Chains A and B, each alone.
Chain A
Amino acid sequence: MIVTQFLVIAAALFSLGVYGLLVRRNAVMVLLAVELMLNAVNINLIAFEAVIRSSQAVGQVFSIFVITVAAAEVGIGLAIILMIFRNRQSANVDDFNLMKF
């Protein structure tokens, strides 16, 4: 195996995540796309760890951290979306334009 094959997959997943981020109208869907991107990052980290093979498995440790933070972030994000939904009865990001000029 060469490392590039995993990096390419990661890149592809990342790009898909960006696409989803920019295109999706539902706030929850946007968060899903963000999860995709984080996942791609994880693949990168593990792949490089496999190349380096550090004595303390740094890449993998880092990957654990990423997963944990992603989970926390999802929790908060959903809470916020919930509140907005309660206020505005809509989860459509197009409607979240209070910061408009």
Chain B
Amino acid sequence: MTFQSWISEPVNWVYLAIGGAVLVSGFRVVTTQNVVRAALYLVATLGGTAGLFLMLSAEFVAWTLVLVYIGAVIVLFLFGTMITRAPMVRDTGLDNPKARPMAAVLSLILFVVLSYTMLTAFGSTEIAQVGEGTDTRILGEALLGRFVLPFEIVGFILLAALVGGITIARRDLTPLEEEERGSV
């Protein structure tokens, strides 16, 4: 497929728009000096990603993304930011200046290598047009059929994360308080 034919499809315009937004947001996530703005930019990135998912007929995953990531994770982040009293204003010291050039180079190289590899590997493999979407029933059956074991394990992971999070973040009780409370 040539670039001409590719650019002539409307789908790809939409793609370009969403993709552009995602990229810009992603860039801003790692370069902004404001913690809250970083989180919000991440929200934008994730939203754009959801759109891309929709384009790829993965509705369920897209909405799961919105729900879990944007709805829960980012909120978590904002909470964490507030609790650790990270300054919510511009902070010059948010980046490590010494590492910046090196990291930039590295990520650039990484990008180039990855893109090049994928271009040469997959070239012009086409994807079906935005169409029917994926039946959620299929996902459900897969999750509880073929992938039931990972499903359960992931459940355990979540449980562990829950319990662990609470345990880690607990305030150590002084012996007096322990006695008063009558429990650990």
Contacts and interface: CB of A to CB of B under 8 A. Distances in A.
Direct A–B touching, Cβ under 8 Å: yes
Interface of A: 1-9, 11-20, 22-29, 31-33, 35-36, 39, 42-43, 46-47, 49-51, 53, 55-58, 60-61, 63-65, 67-76, 78-83, 85-86, 91-92, 94
Given A12-B111, A13-B22, A23 B157 contact: no
A85 B84 contact: yes
Contacts of B157: 68-69, 72
Interface in B62-92: 64-65, 68-69, 72-73, 76-77, 79-81, 83-86
Interface residues of B, number: 91
Q: How would you classify the secondary structure of chain B's contact residues: helix, strand, loop or mixed?
A: helix
Interface of B: 1, 6, 9, 11-12, 15, 19, 22-23, 26-27, 29-30, 35, 38-39, 42, 45-46, 49, 52-53, 55-58, 60-61, 64-65, 68-69, 72-73, 76-77, 79-81, 83-86, 93-96, 99-100, 102-104, 106-108, 110-111, 114-115, 118-119, 122-129, 134, 138-139, 141-143, 145-147, 150, 154, 157-158, 160-162, 164-166, 168-169, 171
Contacts of A72: 157-158, 160-161
Majority-rule SS of A interface residues = helix
Instruction: Please indicate which of the listed interface residues A6, A23, A42, A94 has the most CB atoms of chain B within 10 Å of its own CB.
Output: A23
B95 A60 contact: no
A88 B67 CA distance: 34
